[in-house]
Structure 1
Amino acid sequence: MLRGLSTVSLFADDVAAAAHWYTEVLGIEPYFVRPQDGPPAYVEFRIGDYQHELGVVDRRYEVSPRTEAAAGAVTYWHVDDVEATFERLLALGATVHDKPMERGPGFVTASVVDPFGNILGVMYNQHYLSTLAALSHG
């Protein structure tokens, strides 16, 4: 049974450049880098309320064949302000994948393609906030 988000892996031809970009986006340095010397093949960030793992992997290790268009599952990360986050990601060099859209009361989504060809989703999700509140009061 699926129990929760463990690690989201994104891929890049230049892991060092991707690590720099995500450091700017997230406001934190990766906590894990391999190898420790030389150009990295893998970096990992721990982010958010639950310290979920966001990894950037050298594209040489990608299992699926690469296509020119961004594709695959979209993982949405909860944010408090979708519009502001979306605009900030665009200002940092991402491109539009799906503009902000209300999907129902308390649910707004948007997604971008990062400079390395990965889809990055952001979402205001009332369920996420309700779950977080219940856990912090339980």
Structure 2
Amino acid sequence: MLRGLSTVSFYADDVAAAGKWYAELLGFEPYFVRPEQGPPAYVEFRIGDFQQELGIVDRRYAAHGKSDQAGGAVLYWHVDDVEATFDKLLSMGATVHEKPVERGPGFVTASVIDPFGNILGVMYNQHYLDVATAH
């Protein structure tokens, strides 16, 4: 059911500063920034052989707000049907972390807390499908 890494989301209070830090670490600038003008709320890098996504999101958009503890990353696994997978996870004892949300055309995310306390993200991601098809 889980087809591969789709997107890793990190949260930051200052997305511009975090984007610069990751650009320095990775050696290249993000390919996607929104909004295009003004302070960014989201920046995204494509990394590795399959060009997986590392997104840095304004912490205001985190499903459960700001935490004072380290962490906050949600790993999204690509699935073909977010709603069906989300329902199956709930039926297996997971609890809702974030209900399915359309993030834009071809991008839907959801996350659950598994019975062991881990956050599991699932995502329909057209970019993942395009890369997988090309390989």
Report how far residue 38 of structure 1 moved.
0.4
* RMSD (Å), alpha carbons: 1.9
How many positions carry a matched residue from both structures? 76
Q: Give the whole-Å Cα distance in 1 for the aligned partners of 2:37 and 2:48.
A: 28
Structure 1 residue 37 and structure 2 residue 26: aligned? no
Q: Give the whole-Å Cα distance in 2 for the aligned partners of 1:40 and 1:73.
A: 18
Partner residue, 2:58: 58
Which structure would you say has the larger RCO, counting Cα contacts within 8 Å and 6 or more residues apart? 2
Report how far residue 72 of structure 1 moved.
5.2
TM-score when normalising by structure 1:
0.51
Gaps of 5+ in 1: 76-134
Report how far residue 68 of structure 1 moved.
1.4
Matches within 5 A, 1:99-114: none
Partner residue, 2:16: 16
Q: 1:13 to 1:47 in 2, by over 3 A?
A: same
Q: Check conservation: 2:41, 2:58, Cα contact below 8 A.
A: yes
Q: Give the whole-Å Cα distance in 1 for the aligned partners of 2:31 and 2:61.
A: 20
Report how far residue 44 of structure 1 moved.
0.2
Gaps of 5+ in 2: 76-134
Partner residue, 2:81: none
Q: Give the whole-Å Cα distance in 1 for the aligned partners of 2:39 and 2:9.
A: 18
Matches within 5 A, 1:107-126: none
Q: Check conservation: 2:34, 2:40, Cα contact below 8 A.
A: yes
Q: 1:58 to 1:26 in 2, by over 3 A?
A: same
Partner residue, 1:90: none
Letter in 2 for 1:61: Y
Q: Give the whole-Å Cα distance in 2 for the aligned partners of 1:29 and 1:23.
A: 5
Report how far residue 34 of structure 1 moved.
0.3
Q: Check conservation: 2:10, 2:73, Cα contact below 8 A.
A: no
Q: 1:29 to 1:70 in 2, by over 3 A?
A: same
Which deviations, in whole Å up to 9, do the C-alpha atoms of 1:20-54 show, x marking residues without a partner? 00000100100000000000000000011110000
Over the matched positions of the two proteins, sequence identity in percent amounts to 70
Which deviations, in whole Å up to 9, do the C-alpha atoms of 1:99-134 show, x marking residues without a partner? xxxxxxxxxxxxxxxxxxxxxxxxxxxxxxxxxxxx
